[in-house]
Amino acid sequence: MGTRNLEKMASIDAQLRLLAPRKVSEDDKLVEYDALLLDRFLDILQDLHGEDIRETVQECYELSAEYERKLDPQKLEELGKVLMSLDAGDSIVVAKSFAHMLNLANLAEEVQIAYRRRNKLKKGDFADEASATTESDIEETLKRLVLQLKKSPLEVFDALKNQTVDLVLTAHPTQSVRRSLLQKHGRIRNCLTQLYAKDITPDDKQELDEALQREIQAAFRTDEIRRTPPTPQDEMRAGMSYFHETIWKGVPKFLRRVDTALKNMGIHERVPYNAPLIQFSSWMGGDRDGNPRVTPEVTRDVCLLARMMAANLYFSQIEDLMFELSMWRCSDELRARANQLHQSSRRDAKHYIEFWKQIPPNEPYRVILGDVRDKLYHTRERARHLLSNGMSDIPEEATFTDVEQFLEPLELCYRSLCACGDRPIADGSLLDFLRQVSTFGLSLVRLDIRQESDRHTDVIDAITRHLEIGSYREWSEQRRQEWLLSELSGKRPLFGPDLPKTEEIADVLDTFHVISELPSDNFGAYIISMATAPSDVLAVELLQRECRVMQPLRVVPLFEKLADLEAAPAALARLFSIDWYRNRINGKQEVMIGYSDSGKDAGRFSAAWQLYKAQEELVKVAKKYGVKLTMFHGRGGTVGRGGGPTHLAILSQPPDTINGSLRVTVQGEVIEQSFGEEHLCFRTLQRFTAATLEHGMHPPVSPKPEWRALMDEMAVVATKEYRSIVFQEPRFVEYFRLATPETEYGRMNIGSRPSKRKPSGGIESLRAIPWIFAWTQTRFHLPVWLGFGAAFKDVLQKDIKNLNMLKEMYNQWPFFRVTIDLVEMVFAKGDPGIAALYDRLLVSKDLWPFGEHLRAIYEETKSLLLQIAGHKDLLEGDPYLKQRLRLRDAYITTLNMSQAYTLKRIRDPSYAVKERPHLSKEIMESSTSKPQTAELVKLNPTSEYAPGLEDTLILTMKGIAAGMQNTG
């Protein structure tokens, strides 16, 4: 018995080694990490569910691995037979095991990446970093700017302290892993890192190994499926947890590193604490576009919750600061203030743990900070009362209401320490604290509000009808503008409480009222989606005034469909030509461009090119009117929705479009990849800061006129090809619904937003996220590559010389290179053989030729792409990624097979299956009456499908999403 087990063990190790035959570099420990986590997991699986299930899991893994090596469809048949013979409980256990093994493989990768990074830093070796496309070390960037590009250190310092990166966290429904699991994953990562540390004792090793097993088991025993959809408040709390965990401490730590990098370059000044290098905003609880669950009340809750959290975070640090600043020497200015405070407060505060007695005047800093502490305490409690009962008996005067009030006593302490020769002390925790206050303010993040332009039109229409001057909706753009401007210049209120309101109109107006009631530092921008004309922007300006918003939010139009992007520059020019508006904006305008919908509308190739051109044009318009333009990029996490490595994405933007101010959305699962852990948070802040600086000081090349002409030519062909298949092929929607799990996607309970804009309807009404998610599941990725092949083929047939021009574009023009590289990465993750299997099982026979046709286009596109990139194999320029994908694929294949067969059983209840006897044994079988696998089947009592099928399906979806990483 034992020997057989050993053979089995060895075999899985051997499979891993066969998949990744050689080390990519000396410090490559990936296979080792992977094998360790797998061994531990399989032992746990055997302890919990018995040997038979472990053997089944290994058999599936081996068949997948063999399929991945030889791409032999025969192996898929065998794998299918194994999976089909499992009963409901067993198939849940197997799907869960593979999803879990993939999560472990991802953790092994993260540890390996961090390990390589540390090794390089120790050796000071950045030799291949310059060519590595995804890293930007802040110190390297500064050195490169000064040494290679001959900028003076002062120029660089100036540019750096005047730039801003604003990261906007959005709760897009793509974070498919629950927070309960994310925390366990973090602990597994830490155990694995420590196990391989150099100076570890045998006892430590044993305890760490136990901890590792405990966490792996705890994660496996947690239900991965959200049984209820999250509310917007849940999404907001999940997003805010990253501030607690990493961002709060991460920002001052990162800014210290920037100081160090400046010092090493000969600049002996620190980045001023009020330099807005990094800012954070949020859409969670503010984004109401197509999400009826985000009500005005939700927006109010979210703002108060963030204020309470911010005050609490400061409060938890202020006592440490009081401990630290125990000095008695201080400036006269500070002493006078301390004496004044000391005389006014003559009581002990018993509700504090430290410093509860009245602080003696010979500790002046503590007296000042004690007063700050009182105010923070009241600020937190007042927010808490308002949140829970809507009122508070703490007067507003006892709290901090704006950041200036909060900064003032801290600045006083800083000045005083410097004046008394204690600058090194001032530059310790006090500086960190000042930087936190400058970054997070009293509101932690600024909330953006997003609403569809149509909803504003409805409100204004109701007003004009009520005033009996006609229907605003039917007026021409010219007439709308004239009326809005005359009202904006006038003083009279437009409507009273007697305005007849539908629920939807009340909702829009109440949102404006919430904005007017809460402190203005809670809010960022008011974003109008589906904006097309200047009146869309003026309407929001008027509504803000009508609802008495004292400090109106900046209004940001969002352009996302292809036609809107083309028309955007003209719309902006019309807006800037209105005198009233130009006076209102004070020389600054923000414009948001959307990546998802433009991609769904015309395919990735044309969308990318149109976004590039639109940005160039918008910048020209802004320059003409003397306005500083900030671009707000709405990128998703996936390539299909504009995602990809940060550094590359920023450096491939057109010249002059960033100018030291960048706003980017960080969506869904990307938040976890960017801020899930301390070193990830540090790396994210570093990448954004370094790339933004580099783009401003060393802009990428502008494309040559002949490159542009070629791009324009190709974009026309690409759009035509994409639309001819997606929108004009009469049976495309039917094929899409059959060949992918799109119909079943809504059951995943990922986000608080419905997956469709309108319940009926075709591709147009489907949100961009499920559209991409569904194609990612079958590993066919159609929306990413469709159109590329036709475009390349067309220009190469016209003139073979174009091949050299395309190669030149790939080698010299960052934008083109990034576009091609990202698609190449997606091909490396794709597998048409798997997609063919879904077709065979799920698609009606008369649609098979259509699927074959699409797969032929896939192959042709892939070979043309490789030709242009000058690669023989996919990813030959990135061996690390290639190795990681190979190790991941074997797990994903089993999940794909399980998913395809489960979909078959869900959609065709008459599909006959011969089940083997139940395999999974339980440890507790004697003591309890029924095995746990039966319990697993009962976790979902309301399913309309046969027992266990829905859970198996959801587990495969989550597993594949984890394996593909840039899910949807």
350 is annotated as an active-site residue: no
3-state secondary structure 872-919: CCCCCCCHHHHHHHHHHHHHHHHHHHHHHHHHHHHHCCCCCCCCCCCC
User: Are 76 and 833 contacting, i.e. CB atoms less than 8 angstroms apart?
Assistant: yes
Half-sphere exposure for 348 (CA within 13 Å, toward CB): 6
> If we measure between CA atoms, which residue out of 823, 821, 825, 800 comes closest to residue 811?
821
As a whole number of angstroms, the distance between CA 165 and CA 135 comes to 17
Helix (H, G, I), strand (E, B) or coil at 282: strand
**Backbone conformation region of residue 697, classed left if phi is above 0, alpha if psi is from -120 to 50, else beta:** alpha
Measured distance CA(69)–CA(66) in Å, rounded: 5
One-letter amino acid for residue 169 of the chain: L
Q: Could you tell me the CA-to-CA distances from 201 to 33, 37, 198, 206, 214 in Å, in that order?
A: 19, 20, 9, 9, 20
CA distances to 311, 380, 421, 446, 762 from 304, rounded to whole Å, are 11, 10, 41, 12, 40
Helix (H, G, I), strand (E, B) or coil at 445: coil
Point out the catalytic residue in the list 600, 647, 720, 862. 600
Strands 588-594 and 278-282: unpaired
Cα distances from 180 to residues 82, 176, 184, 587, in angstroms, run 32, 12, 7, 46
Q: In DSSP terms, which residues pair with 771 in a beta bridge?
A: none
Residue 76 token pair: 């898929």
Q: How far is the C-alpha of 354 from the C-alpha of 349, rounded, in Å?
A: 10
- For 48, how many CA atoms within 13 A lie in the half-sphere containing its CB? 19
Q: Show Cβ contacts of residue 470 under 8 Å, excluding neighbours closer than 6 positions.
A: 464
Taking the CA atoms of the chain, what radius of gyration do you get in angstroms?
A: 30
Residue in 161, 133, 157, 400 with CA at minimum distance from that of residue 267: 157
At 608, which helix (H) or strand (E)? helix 604-624
Contact 779, 892 (CB under 8 A): yes
How many Å apart are CA 963 and CA 829, to the nearest integer? 9
Q: DSSP character for 941?
A: T
DSSP annotation of 550: S
Active site (annotated) includes residue 633 = no
Q: How many residues are recorded in the chain?
A: 968
Rounded-to-integer distance, Cα 315 and Cα 309, Å: 10
Burial grade of 499 (CB within 10 A; 0-12, 13-18, 19 or more):
middle
* Interacting residues of 882 by C-beta distance below 8 A, sequence separation 6+: 828, 874, 875, 876
Instruction: Give residue 86's Cα distance to chain centre.
Output: 37
With CA atoms as reference, report the closest residue to 693 among 660, 662, 648. Answer: 660
In whole angstroms, how far apart are CA 623 and each of 320, 361, 535, 629, 734? Answer: 49, 57, 22, 8, 48
Catalytic residue among 120, 161, 172, 958: 172
Cβ atoms of 251 and 139 within 8 Å: the answer is no
For residue 690, the number of C-alpha atoms closer than 13 Å in the C-beta half-sphere is 26
| Strand 278-282 versus strand 164-170 pairing type | parallel
Q: Is 730 exposed, middle or buried (0-12, 13-18, 19+ CB in 10 A)?
A: exposed
Active site residues: 172, 600
